[in-house]
Structure 1
């Protein structure tokens, strides 16, 4: 039986059709993308065109055109600035002071009436001047020895003081004072720290009682502002907390207003 011969095919000469088809497909996709990019939305174009026409044809809102460049620098400044003269400030503060002097008298009368017992016992003293009203409290009533935590009696006293001072807007500075007996414990290493902490403790309670913290300030003087000789028998009386109430409640606010108006 004769065997069939297998015909061996030669190399194909039609492979270029595959590359050609791929190339044509890519070209078609490219032209589709270019057409999509070049097409314009007529509706949006009309809206944009009408908006631009309205802007350029609208009447000017100012009689003086806005200059650009060096010309603008030569134009006079038309902005009006509020200038406060020192004489105006003095007049305003004088009228405010007359009103505040009445308030200071009210504060002093209310405190004297509410703390009559403590004043008679000498635990509290109340002094007044043209510029300040001073409330002095002995530290032995407010704090335990070497501590800045107020006692129960101190909390009641400070709450009553806050009830009176809460009706006014005068600034209040709380000062802490000690004697010259050295202190060194786990909490405080010097009388400076103790006096400042006691003043801050009173400030914190006054704020908790509802006083505006912007009115309050805490200062510690240590033993360096004594009322009595720290070498004498009355040395313990130097341990005290002082509340200084200012007569000029609007002084700082007036100065801030002047600074804000300066160029």
Structure 2
């Protein structure tokens, strides 16, 4: 039998449509992605707009808003922060300014009350961010190797106590000695002597209606000198009692870091 011929296949002139369709699909996907990237997040735009308007108003009490994206929900959050000055520090609050004025006034009253002793170089009153420091030479308060207040010092300390009794600031009383050893039955070392001297001042303040829970007595002994102990003048300067009237009211003053040198103290 004769073999039957296979019918001839016609050439497909529409194969290009497959490639074209793929190209169009990819191009469409590309434009969708570009549109999604370029679309403006209305929430972020409003927060940024409010922040710029607030900043350019130059309002001292103004606040700056920043944007933080919540990773869980993917939504922007408006975080309000104090407007910083040109120096980079936050604008002081009215309460802080009032506290600063009050402490400055108290320091002025202390300088007036202790004026004669300040003129004699036996008392120093300095003010810093930490508060007010009243440094009193031990010769004004005590006899050598004693912790009992001398009668002539009671009047000055009473005046100071009456001033601070009208406030609610915490008070830290520090006792300091020089490096000369002491070894008596009552005070085996300078630790005991310095602590007893600080306690004597605290007791007088308590007797003048200063709330005991506001005060703490600390004995530093010879280990916080402000001058060298190699000279009589230096040792005399190191024998002192310092009253720290703290600017901020904290629950426990005893945990505060010491500031023996008062390096941050400013001039009146």
The match for 1:97 is 96
Aligned residues of 2:178 and 2:221 also touching (Cα < 8 A): yes
User: How far apart are the structure 2 equivalents of 1:212 and 1:103?
Assistant: 20
> Number of residues paired by the alignment?
163
After superposition, the Cα gap between the structure-2 partners of 1:217 and 1:243, relative to the gap in structure 1 and judged at 3 Å, is same
> Superposed, which structure 2 residues align to 1:107-146 within 5 Å?
107-146=106-145
Give yes or no for the alignment of 1:252 onto 2:257: no
Aligned residues of 1:192 and 1:222 also touching (Cα < 8 A): yes
Q: 1:232 Cα deviation (Å)?
A: 2.5
| Larger proportion of helix | 1
User: How far apart are the structure 2 equivalents of 1:179 and 1:221?
Assistant: 10
The match for 2:238 is 238
Work out which of the two has the higher radius of gyration on C-alpha atoms and give 1 or 2: 1
The match for 1:199 is 198
The match for 2:14 is none
SS of structure 1 residue aligned to 2:251: helix
Q: 1:96 Cα deviation (Å)?
A: 4.2
Give yes or no for the alignment of 1:186 onto 2:161: no
Structure 2, gaps ≥5 residues long: 1-80, 82-89, 253-268
User: How far apart are the structure 2 equivalents of 1:152 and 1:98?
Assistant: 39
Q: 1:215 Cα deviation (Å)?
A: 0.9
Q: 1:204 Cα deviation (Å)?
A: 0.6
The match for 1:227 is 226
User: How far apart are the structure 2 equivalents of 1:95 and 1:207?
Assistant: 32
Higher relative contact order (CA 8 A, sep 6+): 1
Aligned residues of 2:137 and 2:236 also touching (Cα < 8 A): no
User: How far apart are the structure 2 equivalents of 1:216 and 1:150?
Assistant: 18
The match for 1:216 is 215
- TM-score, length-scaled by structure 2: 0.57
The match for 1:106 is 105
Aligned residues of 1:150 and 1:201 also touching (Cα < 8 A): yes
Cα RMSD (Å): 2.1
SS of structure 2 residue aligned to 1:241: strand
User: How far apart are the structure 2 equivalents of 1:235 and 1:197?
Assistant: 19
- TM-score, length-scaled by structure 1: 0.58
SS of structure 1 residue aligned to 2:244: strand
